[in-house]
Amino acid sequence: MHVAGREQLKVLIRNASIQKRVREVAREITRDFKGQRVHLIGVLKGACIFLSDLIRHIDLDTSIDFMAVASYGKGQRSSGEVRLNKDLDTSIEGLNVILVEDILDTGLTLSYLRRILLQRKPKILKIAALLDKPSRRLIKDIKADYTGFDIPNEFVVGYGLDYGERYRNLRDVCILSLPPE
């Protein structure tokens, strides 16, 4: 893997563990929505790899849509504000919606998305997050219904997660350390 400058990567979750856990989450979803259709909404861009693995293990009638939000700038720190860059293509009224996110961190992004999606009257709205950093939570009432892994308070990249748009292609989830400024 190409690593820029003095940045360092350390594997936190190996791809084999991710694949195993993604299959388990998909099985849970399949069981919870037996006989029904689920509409997965991926939060671009971080969730695209998780969503594409997850959906192929869900044994139900499915459909997909995407939203794009910006909450992080180029760096590691959240600006605290969320902006909607791309809205859904189709209505979610009456659908079993699962919002698919890469990581639940402060909770600002998901609480914003939950608020605007609930206004559109889905039958049900669930949240699936590959990663959860519970120690970072600012919005206390936001929880994922399906979580891949709880992780410590470290900045991670890979399997869809980026640092300044790079490293999304890593197969493992890795801790990124930057040289001191």
105 a catalytic residue: yes
Residue 181 C-alpha from the chain's centroid: 29
Member of 33, 38, 46, 51 binding Mg ion (CB under 5 A): 46
Q: 35-94: which residues touch ligand IMP (CB under 6 A)?
A: 46, 71-72, 78
Beta pairing partners, 11: 174
Q: Among the candidate windows 7-15, 23-31, 57-65, 99-107, which touches ligand IMP by CB under 6 A?
A: 99-107
Lookup: tokens for 142: 């936001």
In the bound state with ligand IMP, the residue whose beta carbon lies nearer, of 53 and 101, is: 101
**Residue of 53, 102, 105, 132 marked active site:** 105
In the bound state with ligand IMP, the residue whose beta carbon lies nearer, of 91 and 177, is: 177
Q: Of ligand IMP, Mg ion, none, which one sits near residue 51, judging by CB under 5 to 8 A according to partner kind?
A: none
User: C-alpha angle 132/135/136, rounded to 5°?
Assistant: 80
Question: Does 160 interact with Mg ion (rule: CB under 5 A)?
Answer: no
Residue 129 C-alpha from the chain's centroid: 5
Active site members: 105
Q: Which residues bind ligand IMP (CB under 6 A)?
A: 46, 71-72, 78, 101-110, 155-157, 161
